Amino acid sequence: MEKSESTKIDVVETNKEKKGKAPLLGTAAPAIAAAVAHDGHAKGGAKRGIAIFDLILRLAAFASALGATVAMATTEETLPFFTQFFQFEASYDDLPTFTFFVVGMGIVVAYLVLSVPFSIVCIVRPHAVVPRLLLIIFDTVIIALATGAAGSSAAIVYLAHNGNQDANWLAICQQFGDFCQRASGAVVASFVTVVLLILMVVLSASALRRH
């Protein structure tokens, strides 16, 4: 009889322990869910901040690319002296490289305008993956175009300032000072655009990595 009573006591104690543990498990589940929700909200806030900064950089890149395009497209100068048969004039369309610069940077300007809605979508929906992925792909293509236009034009501007004695290319900036000044400013603005585009790609990649 004593053995059976001790057995009953053990069973009762086991039930109490189980009842005591049940509330602990019930209170732990909401705490875990709240922690997960808080973490997701924090990530969403960080991504929204990145998207806002991306939009600001996109607008700045648009301004610099537009300035570079307009500056190069209006680059021309006519010297005040001329002869009966010749008039000394320099214009951007005299050089195919500068023409490529104007066309290329014009494409960059148009792309940046079209990409603004995608950047706004990333602000409204910070967890969206497809808009960010599209921005990374097309931003990379535009970086290649802008870098090609800026680099090739920089080489021409360098020759215009310094010439090349081995090739018997004379420096023309001593005569066409305004022409060279505007062309140099356009090239500098295009390189600023390239830097801003690279920053935008890095930001988009960082946002995707946080997903």
Residue 83 burial by Cβ neighbours in a 10 Å radius (0-12, 13-18, 19+): exposed
Residue type present at position 19: K
pTM of this prediction? Answer: 0.74
Residues in contact with 67: Cβ distance below 8 Å, sequence separation at least 6, in sequence order: 186, 189
pLDDT band at 38 (very low <50, low <70, confident <90, very high): very low
The pLDDT tens digits for 155-195 are 999 988 888 887 777 788 888 778 888 999 999 999 999 99
pLDDT band of residue 196 (cuts 50, 70, 90) is very high
Q: What is the mean pLDDT of residues 73-102?
A: 78
Asked if the model's pLDDT at residue 211 lies above 80, the reply is no
Query: How many C-beta atoms lie closer than 10 Å to residue 174's C-beta?
Result: 11
- pLDDT confidence of residue 80: 67
Give the whole-number percent of the chain exceeding pLDDT 70: 73
**What percentage of the chain reaches a pLDDT higher than 90?**
45
- Residue 150 to residue 167: CA distance in whole angstroms: 23
Under 8 Å CB-to-CB from 145, ≥6 apart: which residues? 104, 107, 108
Band (pLDDT 50/70/90 cuts) for residue 39 is very low
* Poorest-pLDDT segment among 9-18, 42-51, 73-82, 198-207: 9-18
Look at 116 and 86; give whichever has higher pLDDT: 116
C-beta of residue 73 within 8 angstroms of C-beta of residue 104: no
